[in-house]
Structures are given as C-alpha cells and as structure tokens.
C-alpha cells in the first residue's frame, strides 16, 4: 500500500529541521519544486567544510546505475552523512537497477534523484521501494486558475501581501512558469519600501513588469461580470493591438473558470457571500462579490450556454473549423454572446 503523499511544504519543513530521508526521487512536469527541494537539501545536509569530501553531483547523461550505486554506498568522511545528487536522471536507461539499493538504502547517505519532465512507473519496483523507504515526490504544474492563490500564498511566506488584482495580472501575464514568476516576484519585493507594510499593488506591477493595470484579463472579467459592454470592448481592442502580451489562450481559461464557478453558484443552496465563499472554496469573502454580480446578470441557462461557447472559441482559436477568423475576432464574438 502506498504511503500518504508528501507535500512540497512538508518535505521542506523536514529538511530545514534536518530530518532527512535516505532516498529522494523528485519527478514530474514542474522543475521549480524539484530544484527548490534539491537546493534546500544541499544547504542543510552538509556544512561548508563537509562538502569537499562528502558531496557528489552527477548527471544522467554521464552516469548509469552502477556509478550511482558506487557513490551511494561509500561512507562519509569526518561527517554524519554524505550527499549524492543525480541531476537529469531521466536520461539514465538502467535506473530501475537502483531498486535493490532503495529497498535497503545506506543510512549515512542522502541520495537525491532529479527525474525531470517524466515520472517513474509506480507499478515497478524502484518507485515502490523509494515510496516505502524515502520520498517519492511528483512535482506537478500549478493549474492556471490556481496561480493567483499560489502567488498570494508564496508572498505571504515572505511577509509580503499582494492586491488580488495585481496577483491576477501577474498570473495572466506570466502563466504558470514558476521559475520566471518567482524572479519577477523577487524583483517586485525588492522594490518595496523597508519601513512600511510590504504590499504589491497593480500600479507597481504595471510600472515594473509592463502590464497595463486597466487593460488586462482581471478588468475584462469585471466588465463581463457587470455587463459593461463599453469597457469590455475597449479592453478587447487593446488586446487586439497588443496580442503578444494578451493572447486569447490566456483569456479563455479566466472566463471558463469564472462561468464554471458561476454555474455552481446557481445551484448552491446558500447564495450569500459567505455561502458562495464556502461553496467555491474561496480564500476571502470579497472574491464572492463578482459571483453575486454574475448571479444577477446571468441566468443558469445562459451560463450553461456560455461555457459551451468558450469551449467552441478555444477550439476555433486552435484552428478547428476556422479558416479566417483571428483571435481578436473570436474574442469579440464571444464577448458579444456574453453580454447580449
């Protein structure tokens, strides 16, 4: 039976407390979490003076199972443990041969295997052995619709708050490329004054990231929610003139997520702000205000039809049954259906 899945936060907490497992396999589509865990282990497993003799780093293109086993079975020199890091392990063809070692790993070795952009077959012996005796962690991409919450949570860990609009602006502009996102958040955090509460605003994002605080998906959704036709069309025109920074592929998920949630709201027994907050699992009650407005302006049947329209628009933007309409044309057509 597989053990309870380890979270990124729980793994980092244990590493910081120097509670190490003998084997870590970090795998999956999101390299950011794997890199963070690996760097944290490097920071805490050995002191600076211990690293010269007790830290080994190898790469999958130049390694095989035998080389990894030889390194892992060595004993540390004048230290409590040794650290063996295998990067790009997805390139190792005979990696399954590590399964016997994973069943009985060396207690004085911390073996970290980075298996990026792929996952081990959980039905085979290696994955099961690591899961039983170490950490088998699958690093997954953060879905686009969860990015604003991720940004807010990430900054809270650094004692920085962010305006919800600013979080949505960053999520829309940067997508779920976490490495790029973190660099931009670090840049914004450095710009905040020292002696006042640190808060990232839409104005700060606009000035330093190059995203318009008035013409973005956050404001477009506000216009759609309130059926402000003039504002929605102005934003659509701005998107048409700046297609690189405002692709329809970033806009459609925002609209789809909103109307999918709005359909849930229509069938919720408690349609108060607190009731909708609970039904949708929102972080703050103020987020329910947009859904309260949507309930007033869109019937359940209209919402149902719009979800279908968004799916159709997404398919057409990818060339399905579409030979001439541009992304701008598709967005304008969709917005017309939404507000008429």
Query: Which CATH code, of 3.40.250.10, 3.40.630.40, 3.40.50.300, 3.40.50.12160, is assigned to 8-139?
Result: 3.40.50.300
Element at 144 (helix H, strand E):
none
What number is the average pLDDT over the span 100-128? 95
Query: Which CATH code, of 3.30.2310.20, 3.40.50.300, 1.10.8.60, 1.10.530.10, is assigned to 142-213?
Result: 1.10.8.60
Domain boundaries, the chain: 8-139, 142-213, 223-340
Write down the pLDDT at residue 94: 94
Alpha-carbon gap, residue 214 to 230, rounded angstroms: 13
Average confidence score pLDDT of the chain = 92
Cβ atoms of 186 and 225 closer than 8 Å? no
- DSSP letter string, 108-135: TEEEEEEEETS---TTSHHHHHHHHHSE
Per the DSSP assignment, residues forming a β-bridge with 90 are none
Q: pLDDT category, 3, cuts 50, 70, 90?
A: low
Write down the pLDDT at residue 244: 86
Say which DSSP state 324 is in: S
Task: Write out pLDDT tens, residues 238-269.
Answer: 999 988 888 999 899 999 999 999 999 999 99
Q: Which fold has domain 223-340?
A: Zinc Finger, Delta Prime; domain 3 (1.20.272)
Evaluate if residue 285 carries a pLDDT over 80. no
Q: Which pair of structure tokens corresponds to residue 177? A: 């490329």
Element at 72 (helix H, strand E):
helix 65-72
Reported in sequence order, the residue ranges of the chain that DSSP labels E, i.e. its strands, are: 23-28, 55-59, 82-87, 109-116, 135-139, 161-162, 199-200
Write down the pLDDT at residue 4: 56
| Three-state helix/strand/coil letters over 14-52 | HHHCCCCCCEEEEEECCHHHHHHHHHHHHHHHCCHHHHH
What Cα–Cα distance (Å) separates residue 280 from each residue in 52, 147, 277, 295? 52, 16, 5, 14
Q: Which residue did the predictor score with more confidence, 72 or 6? A: 72
Write down the pLDDT at residue 209: 85
What Cα–Cα distance (Å) separates residue 168 from each residue in 80, 213, 233? 46, 10, 20
Cβ atoms of 140 and 166 closer than 8 Å? no
Q: pLDDT category, 213, cuts 50, 70, 90?
A: confident
What number is the average pLDDT over the span 169-193? 89
Alpha-carbon gap, residue 67 to 82, rounded angstroms: 16
Task: Write out pLDDT tens, residues 39-95.
Answer: 999 999 999 999 999 999 999 999 999 999 999 999 999 999 999 999 999 999 999
Alpha-carbon gap, residue 70 to 84, rounded angstroms: 10
* Closest by Cα among 336, 311, 319 to 259: 311
Write down the pLDDT at residue 1: 44
Q: Which pair of structure tokens corresponds to residue 187? A: 């840049």
Phi-psi region of 2 (alpha: psi -120 to 50; beta: other; left: phi over 0): beta
Task: Write out pLDDT tens, residues 286-323.
Answer: 778 889 999 999 999 999 999 999 999 999 999 998 88
Write down the pLDDT at residue 211: 82
Q: Which pair of structure tokens corresponds to residue 87? A: 């990067």
């Amino acid at each position: 039976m597989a053990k309870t899945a380890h979270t990124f936060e729980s793994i980092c907490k244990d590493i910081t407390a120097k509670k190490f497992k003998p084997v870590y396999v970090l795998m999956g589509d999101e390299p950011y979490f794997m890199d963070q865990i690996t760097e944290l282990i490097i920071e805490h497993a050995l002191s600076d003076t211990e690293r010269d003799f007790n830290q080994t780093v190898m790469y999958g293109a130049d390694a095989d199972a035998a080389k990894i086993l030889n390194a892992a079975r060595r004993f540390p020199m004048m230290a409590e443990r040794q650290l063996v890091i295998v990067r790009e392990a997805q390139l190792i063809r005979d990696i399954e041969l590590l399964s016997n070692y994973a069943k009985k790993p060396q207690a004085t070795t911390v073996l970290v295997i980075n298996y990026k952009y792929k996952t081990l077959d959980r039905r085979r012996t290696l994955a099961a052995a690591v899961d039983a005796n170490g950490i088998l962690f699958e690093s997954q991409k953060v879905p686009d619709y969860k990015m604003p919450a991720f940004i807010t949570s990430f900054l809270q860990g650094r004692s920085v708050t962010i305006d919800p609009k600013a979080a949505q602006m960053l999520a829309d502009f940067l997508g779920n490329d976490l490495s790029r996102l973190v660099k931009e958040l670090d840049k914004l955090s450095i710009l905040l004054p020292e002696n006042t509460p640190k808060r990232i605003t839409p104005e700060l994002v606009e000035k330093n990231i190059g995203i318009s605080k008035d013409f973005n998906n956050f404001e477009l959704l506000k216009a759609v929610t309130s059926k402000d036709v003039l504002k929605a069309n102005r934003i659509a025109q701005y998107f048409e003139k700046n297609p690189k920074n405002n692709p329809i592929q970033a806009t459609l998920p925002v609209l789809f997520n909103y109307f999918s949630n709005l359909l849930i709201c229509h069938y919720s027994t408690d349609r108060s702000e607190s009731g909708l907050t609970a039904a949708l699992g929102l972080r703050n009650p103020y987020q329910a205000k947009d859904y309260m407005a949507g309930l007033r302006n869109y019937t359940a049947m209209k919402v149902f039809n719009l979800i279908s329209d968004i799916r159709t628009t997404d398919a057409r933007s990818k060339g399905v049954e579409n030979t001439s309409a541009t992304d701008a044309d598709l967005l304008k057509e969709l917005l017309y259906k939404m507000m008429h």
